[in-house]
Amino acid sequence: MPSPTDVAELPFLREALLELVLLGITGGVLGAWIVLRRLAFFSHAAGSATFPGLVAADASGVSPTLAGLAVALGYAGGVQRTGRAGREHGEATALLLVAALAAGVILASDVFESGAAVDRLLFGTLLGLGTTDLVVAAAVAAMAGAAAIALGRAWSAVGFDPDGARALGLPAGRADVLLLGLVAVAAVAAIPAVGALLVTAVYVLPAAAARIVTGSIRGLVACALALALAEGVAGLYLAYWLDIPPGPPVAVLGALVCLFTTALSNRPAR
């Protein structure tokens, strides 16, 4: 069993730790709004939908961050437009997600023969996290914090009562587009560390657990932030110990905490 201090001392783990702390900040602040605005499925889909873009970028030498951003933002725009066309957001999300995953599988297996790189794209890696990944994660954390401060009241009013919020003269549509876009960008930022399939591990699970045990938006953000950071650091240590990518242990820890808080809240009062 390795020493927990290795996480802070070994250079490659230090970078992974910093990456997960930055993602944890986004996970706490933005995750609260993802859960409150019922965008959990969308956040999962936005990460997974980048798969074809990442496969193509990996094979052709294009920056995976740029390719992922382009696909994720295109995906968010597609969901927004399809939702406006009368379909529910969930339906539109599923429709576009299936199309993106199918395209990714065809590209990976038949066009580029990506092989082992696919695992890294889907589940993340401890190794190979670079300065660009850290800068992107820091920028997204800063954007999430700034947006939550500036748009939190609007997101809250729209989430509570969409009709009433529009009548208040709020830019409800634009605030929602910004939220979808921010979730899509945040999903891309998480891919290097946790992979395209496990974005929800940092952005949904901590906030979902916090939602069960808190009764206010402020409390939700604070609790989600603490859980996201704790699960990120503990998951990184487990990944190092078990020699596996960090995405799966962070996801398993998040799911266990969620189950625990659910069981706790369902316990009959004495």
Partner 1 sequence: MSAVAVAVEGLAAAYDGAPVLTDVSFRAAPGQSVCVLGPNGGGKTTLFRVLLGELDPAAGTIEVDGRPAYVAQTERTRLDFPVTALDVAVMGTLTLGRWWLPPSRSDRRAAHAALDRVGLAGQAGVRFGELSGGQRQRALLARALVQDAQVLLLDEPLSGVDPASAALIAGVFQELRAAGRTLLVASHDVESARSFDLVLCLNRHQVAFGPPADTLTRATLEATYGHELIVLEDSAATRAVTIQHHEHGH
Give the interface with partner 1 as residue ranges (CB under 8 A): 36, 150-151, 153-154, 156-157, 159-170, 214-217, 219-220
Which residues 6+ apart lie within 8 Å of 251 measured at CB?
194, 198, 200, 201, 205, 235
Q: How far is the CB of 1 from partner 1 (least distance, A)?
A: 40
Q: How far is the CB of 210 from partner 1 (least distance, A)?
A: 11
If phi > 0 it is left, if psi is from -120 to 50 it is alpha, else beta; for residue 10 that is beta
Q: How far is the CB of 161 from partner 1 (least distance, A)?
A: 5
Q: Using the minimum distance from each CB to partner 1, give the nearer residue, 138 or 157.
A: 157
Q: How far is the CB of 138 from partner 1 (least distance, A)?
A: 23
Tokens found for residue 136: 């992107």
Q: Using the minimum distance from each CB to partner 1, give the nearer residue, 183 or 220.
A: 220
Q: Using the minimum distance from each CB to partner 1, give the nearer residue, 2 or 162.
A: 162
Measured CA to CA, the distance from residue 145 to residue 50 in angstroms comes to: 24
Q: Using the minimum distance from each CB to partner 1, give the nearer residue, 14 or 218.
A: 218
Chain centre distance of CA 2: 28
Q: How far is the CB of 265 from partner 1 (least distance, A)?
A: 13
Q: Using the minimum distance from each CB to partner 1, give the nearer residue, 124 or 206.
A: 206
Query: Under a CB-based contact definition with an 8 Å cutoff, are residues 120 and 192 in contact?
Result: no
Amino acid symbol at 102: A
Please provide residue 24's backbone torsions phi and psi, each rounded to the nearest 5 degrees: -65, -35
